[in-house]
Every structure is written in structure tokens, then in C-alpha cells.
Amino acid sequence: MTRSIRGSRRSALLLAGLATSGLLLTGCSAGQVAETAGTVPSVQGVNVASKNGDFAVRSLLIAYPGVDGYQAGDDANLDVVLYNDSPDRVIVTVTTEDARDIVLSDPHAPLGEGSSTTTTETEAPAGGPTQVAVPPLSYVQLNSETSTVLRLIGLNTPLHVGEAIFVTFDFGGTTIRAAAPVSVPLSPATPPEPIIERHTGFEELEDGHGGAGGAGH
């Protein structure tokens, strides 16, 4: 199912971090029942946790696409940190309705290339949905600072700064559905340089003499 109505995506940003029934929007205080509670990535993004605090999605955002944004069919890196404050290992299944697929990939590979299926802490069965294994009382970081990132393959519609798409994270039965916004640049885009016409200050007269020479007649 595709989500092609631009208005719904703008609404998604306003509702960024909204979870499904039984979930609670939280900030840095999520997960205060375990050692991971004090570990919060210092990056921008949406933070959402389950009501009981066992699971959390933090720093969720789509990499900045440049001033032209993403076009329909483009790929985009999806940054996220998945927290597991429960005593058991959990497999997180990641899906979205706003792109053709989600895969695990090298964050530094060119978009459209370099997809991978497994790493030490992640799992993606061939032909199945992307899955990430998170150890108990721990977290898995998937962004440009690590060797693996989630990559959205084939966006259904254009996407620009100020818009978002919904991504679903299933923590083995506990589901968090959150709006992933497009990241904003750390500094404003450089404006184009103005076109400046340069003049010598001399105008050629009808008789072929320059203005300075004509002054002597």
C-alpha cells in the first residue's frame, strides 16, 4: 500500500513520534529501569518508547537529501537506535508502507548500492522482512557512525525537509510506529552567487575612437 497524499506526510511530521495503541511518546527519560537508560545518542531525531519502558526507538530520522530533496523512486538512509531494556534478547522487524523495501546496508556506500543482509548484531533473512537482533539490556545503533544502516529502497513519493514517513518496529509483539522526519542541514545551504556584469568604464564612439581619445578633439 502506498501513501501518496502529501498532506498526510506533513501531518505525520506534526505527529512525529506518535505510537500505536499501548505506546507512549517519550524523550530522554525512556527506559529508566535498566543500564541503557543513561545512554542517549546526541543526535537529532524522534524518540518513542513502549508504555512499559522495555523497548525504545531513538534518534529516528532520514538523512538530509540536499536542497532538491528526494524524488519518487530514490533510496534514503534511515538512522535509528533500537533499545532493549528487557532481560531477553529481542528480534526487531522493521517495515514501512512508504518505500518498496528496507534493507541493511553500509551507510557510506552510494545510494542504490552496497546492501547487505547480516552483521554481528543484525539479521535479515533472505526474502523476508529486515530484522535486527538487540541483546538484553542493550541497544543497537544503526546510523552513519556505524558499519550498518537501514536503507529505504524506492521511496513511493517525493520527500523534502519538513516531511516524514511512517516506519514500524515490531519488538517481538510490542509494536512502535513512528514518523521518521527528514533531517535538516546543520548549516544553511549556500545561496547561489549573483551574476555580476563588469564594465570597463569606456564606451566606444561612432568614429571608432575610445571615449578617452575622443575627449582630445
Digit-coded pLDDT (tens) for 27-38:
333 333 344 444
C-alpha cell recorded at residue 19: 505510537
Instruction: Give the pLDDT confidence score for residue 194 in this predicted structure.
Output: 63
Long-range residue pairs from 132-136, CB within 8 A, at least 24 positions apart, any chain: 132/82, 132/91, 132/92, 132/94, 132/104, 133/89, 133/90, 133/91, 133/92, 134/82, 134/83, 134/84, 134/89, 134/90, 134/91, 134/92, 135/84, 135/89, 136/84, 136/86, 136/87, 136/88, 136/89, 136/90
Q: Inform me whether the pLDDT recorded for 148 exceeds 60.
A: yes
Residue 141 pLDDT grade (very low, low, confident, very high; cuts 50, 70, 90)? very high
Amino acid at residue number 177: R
Backbone angles phi, psi at 10, to 5 degrees: -65, -40
**What is the distance between the alpha carbons of residues 26 and 45, in angstroms, rounded to a whole number?**
12
pTM over 0.75: no
Q: What is the pLDDT of residue 100?
A: 95
Bigger pLDDT: 209 or 177?
177
Q: What is the Cα 136 distance to its own chain's centre?
A: 26
Is 47 exposed, middle or buried (CB count within 10 Å of its CB: 0-12, 13-18, 19+)? buried
Residue 2 pLDDT: 40
Who has greater pLDDT, 6 or 200?
200
Q: Which pLDDT score is estimated for 31?
A: 38
Q: Which of the pair, 130 or 31, is modelled with greater confidence?
A: 130
pLDDT averaged over the chain? 73
